[in-house]
Structure 1
Amino acid sequence: MAQISGITGLNNYADQLRKVTGLTDSSKETSKAGASFSTYLDKAMSGLNSSMKVMDQSTADMISGKQNDLGQVMVNMTESQITLQTAVQVRNKALEAYNDLKNMQF
């Protein structure tokens, strides 16, 4: 991974993450305020699904000989892997928060 140096590198990295995950920056968004959690979750799952489909298609194309750029296939696989790992970690944090709430005593 390229080294992140300065605010410009950090902004570029954040833009790349948004593109991969399908999420948008809420501070730049001009749509209605108060979008629900399910909307964000739906966008994230759609981004994950499309990333996996791209990875599957590029892998199938590489195997069948339609594509000969191994580097692009590896980039697609890495993007899908990072997106899936992020989704798993978000799920784990949501379950952890749910269990914390469930175990609270009033």
Structure 2
Amino acid sequence: MDIKAQSIYQEMQSMAAQTKMDLDQPAAIQGNPSSQNFADLLGNALDTVNSMQLEAKDKAMAFEMGDKSLSLADVMVAKEKSSIAFEATIQVRNKVLDAYKQIMNMPV
């Protein structure tokens, strides 16, 4: 699993820029077609992080039970991958919450 936090962040920035341009042009009041795609992308990323964590847990349990096909390095790499993916997810969540707080603090 390859978490691309930078690409998610860039997509969020492009969506914000597009929204800003739409606000400058009041005649162009339309729904954002990429918002559903972003939700799908975020959902898929969360599912992938979850599956990575479950895979790491399964590998650790199999190694503890004496599975000869797994090495300690394989288990540790799987655990680190899931840990990094989880940390990236937390960072994206924090950025989204910060953006929400900024929007809520904007004067109307």
> TM-score scaled to structure 1, two decimals?
0.67
The answer to whether the 8 A contact 1:55-1:80 is kept is: yes
Listed one character per residue, the Cα deviations across residues 34-92 of structure 1 (whole Å, up to 9, x for unaligned) are: 45221111110111011001100011011111244000001001100100000000000
1:22–1:101 Cα change, 3 Å: closer
In 1: Cα distance, 2:87 partner to 2:75 partner: 18
- Which structure ranks higher in relative contact order (CA pairs < 8 Å, sequence separation ≥ 6)? 2
1:1-106 alignment, distance < 5 Å = 19-21=1-3, 34=34, 36-67=37-68, 68-106=70-108
**Larger Cα-atom Rg:** 2
The answer for unaligned runs of 5 or more in structure 1 is: 1-18, 26-32
Query: Residue 22 of structure 1 contacts residue 47 of structure 1 at CA under 8 Å; is this kept in 2?
Result: no
Cα distance, 1:52–1:22 mapped onto 2, change above 3 Å: farther
Cα distance in 2, alignment partners of residues 51 and 21 from structure 1: 11
Give the whole-Å Cα distance in 2 for the aligned partners of 1:45 and 1:81: 13
What TM-score do you get using the length of structure 2 for normalisation?
Answer: 0.66
Q: Note the C-alpha offset of 1:20.
A: 2.8
Q: Which runs of 4+ in 1 moved over 3 A?
A: none
1:22 to partner: Cα distance: 8.2
1:51–1:62 distance in 2 versus 1, CA, 3 Å:
same
Query: How many residues get paired?
Result: 80
CA distance in 1, matches of 2:2, 2:76: 15
* Higher helix fraction (1 or 2): 2
1:95/1:56 CA distance change after superposition, 3 Å: same
Counterparts of 1:64 and 1:44, CA distance in 2: 30
